[in-house]
Amino acid sequence: MKLYSSETVFIPVRDNRQLEVLIVRSNEQYRKRPSVSEDSASPQDKIPGEAPFRHDKPEERSIGILWLHGGGYRIGFPKMIYMAAGLELVRNFPVTLFVPRYRLSGEAPYPAALEDAYDTLLYMKENSRALDIRRSQLMVGGESAGGGLTAALCMLARDKKEVNIAYQMPLYPMLDDRDTNSNADNAGIFWNTRKNRAAWKQYLGALYPAA
């Protein structure tokens, strides 16, 4: 049996938009189905990304993880998950990843990406039963810019008090646009001071530079 399956769906978000979300679902929780019900929802009641089976007991459902890709807020796409650390979670644990194609800074600066991440989180919470994930154990993670969005999203969720996040995993997060002594003259090939400043400037727009 394959370790995971995936599908791309479009979910309704603010401003009457449809947001693309890649769902990568571990098949581990479906190998043994002690309390699983077949999907009995009528077509009009179905939601995007609905799980093939629904566990009746919440503790048997998957852990839902909102994963945010990297790319300096400027580039990137959901299928980067296939070469990211988040995929190891699906390979080794009964989890379901939700990877949104959040708006990049070239299309819309802050807070567009954060809004897309939050709307995905709300979709996970509000449809947890149909998605077969545990509403009480939602997790957020990401790498680089996705790590920065992870931290920002957790603070936003804390302030709004609409969704409880059980755990966050920001990996080498892109958190602060201000230079430090160690990165002020970085001349690396893949990422350097010039690229870092350009990425922050595009992402923050009129808010750059920070005071």
pLDDT tens, residue by residue, 101-119 = 999 999 999 999 999 999 9
In terms of average pLDDT, the best of 53-57, 118-122, 185-189 is: 118-122
User: At what angle are helices 145-160 and 112-126 packed, to 10 degrees?
Assistant: 60
Q: 33: pLDDT confidence band, cut at 50, 70 and 90?
A: low
Distance, in Å, from the CA atom of 35 to the CA atom of 59, rounded to the nearest integer, reads 11
Which has the higher per-residue pLDDT, 187 or 205?
205
pLDDT at 106: 96
Q: How confident is the model at residue 40 (pLDDT cuts 50, 70, 90)?
A: very low
Per-residue model confidence (pLDDT) at position 43: 46
pLDDT bin (cut points 50, 70, 90) of residue 71 is very high
Q: What is the pLDDT, as a whole number, of residue 32?
A: 55
Distance CA 21, CA 27 (A): 19
By three-state DSSP, how is residue 128 classified?
A: helix
Q: What is the mean pLDDT of the chain?
A: 90
* pLDDT given for residue 42 in this prediction: 44
Residue with tokens 């400037």: 201
CA–chain centroid gap for 136, Å, is: 17
State percent of the chain over pLDDT 90.
Answer: 76
Burial of 17-26, coded b for 16+ CB within 10 Å and e otherwise, reads eebebbbbbb
Q: How far apart are the first and last CA of the chain?
A: 54
Distance from C-alpha of 163 to C-alpha of 198, rounded to nearest angstrom: 33
The whole-model pTM stands at 0.91
Q: What is the C-alpha to C-alpha distance for residues 190 and 152, in angstroms, rounded to an integer?
A: 25
> Which of 28, 19, 70 lies closest to 49 in space, CA to CA?
19
